[in-house]
Structure 1
Amino acid sequence: MNAGLVVRAGLAAFAVVETALGLWTSVLPRSFYDVVPGVDMQPYNEHLLRDYGFMNLALALVFWVALTRSGEVWMARTAFGALLVFAAPHLAFHMAHLDGLTTGELLYLVISLWLAVLIPVLLIALTRVVPDQRPAEGRPRSPSA
């Protein structure tokens, strides 16, 4: 298995997902509210949903930049870490608020939210075996140097 290729595929997948999610929520917030399980826990708020969409587009930008700089391991870690800053507390919130969901909605929500945390964690771990392809003069100095 080529670890660099797997990390690059992860960056590409999250770039596409975050772009699609961001566009959907910022352009068609009511559709997102009506379709995604658990979003309707609160009354519809167009402003909040559009802001969520724009936040996803900002995160998408980080993934697209990381993808174009795929030889720079720190950039991949930054992108996956940025996702975790959102995904981990998002998972924790929803795990504490599962009331009122159908079995199908519950399965979708729990599985998708856990994957949004586990996949970036695994990809960050995988970057430990990916060689940094930047020229030596472009690499940060180690603290002991």
Structure 2
Amino acid sequence: MQRTITRVLLVVFGLAEVPVGLWPLISPSGFYQQFPGFRAGWVAMDGPFNEHLLRDFGGLNLGLAALLIGAAVIGTTTVARLAAVSALLFGVPHFVYHLGHVGHFPRIDQVLIVATTGLGVLLPLALLLVPARRVSPPATP
């Protein structure tokens, strides 16, 4: 069984993925021009608009959100770890890409991009490191 901290991390991480998934599906051009919302242009500064790619990215993030939240609901450590590995398989290449492609952004954006994409690696790593809850054997009379 999962520990409470595992469930909380899964739900928080999953909920954070929902807007990043919905936004490009609802408004690909809006996501392209305005992401992340508080500092516009992170996607637009990285290449030409590609609606297909943005819709795929949105669907991927919604799928990841469903997996993370579903893992919290199911409640087993094995499923939580599977969700964490899945998040890492997306998060590590995403983070590594951004490490090498932030030079054209203002310094504050560089820091924010590296920090936010780094969370996509740190959160699943934390999920993998939380030990499973020990199940006590039933007491015998």
Specify every segment of 5 or more residues in structure 1 that has no aligned partner in the other structure, as ranges: 134-145
8 Å CA contact 2:34, 2:42 repeated in 1: no
Worse-superposed segment, 74-83 or 34-43: 34-43
How far apart in 2 are the matches of 1:117 and 1:84? 6
1:80 — aligned with what?
84
Give TM-score scaled by structure 2 length.
0.84
Aligned length: 129
Specify every segment of 5 or more residues in structure 2 that has no aligned partner in the other structure, as ranges: 36-40, 137-141
Residue 132 (structure 1) shift: 6.4
2:107 — aligned with what?
103
**Cα deviation code 1:45-76 (max 9, x no counterpart):** 11110110011111111112101112x10011
Residue 130 (structure 1) shift: 2.6
**Cα deviation code 1:65-106 (max 9, x no counterpart):** 101112x10011011111100000111111111121011211
How far apart in 2 are the matches of 1:28 and 1:124? 34
8 Å CA contact 1:95, 1:110 repeated in 2: yes
8 Å CA contact 1:25, 1:32 repeated in 2: yes
8 Å CA contact 1:73, 1:131 repeated in 2: no
Q: Secondary structure at the match of 1:117?
A: helix
Amino acid at match of 1:43: P
Give TM-score scaled by structure 1 length.
0.82
**Cα deviation code 1:91-128 (max 9, x no counterpart):** 111111112101121111011111110121022101x2
Calculate percent identity across the aligned residue pairs: 31
1:12 — aligned with what?
11
How far apart in 2 are the matches of 1:61 and 1:38? 25
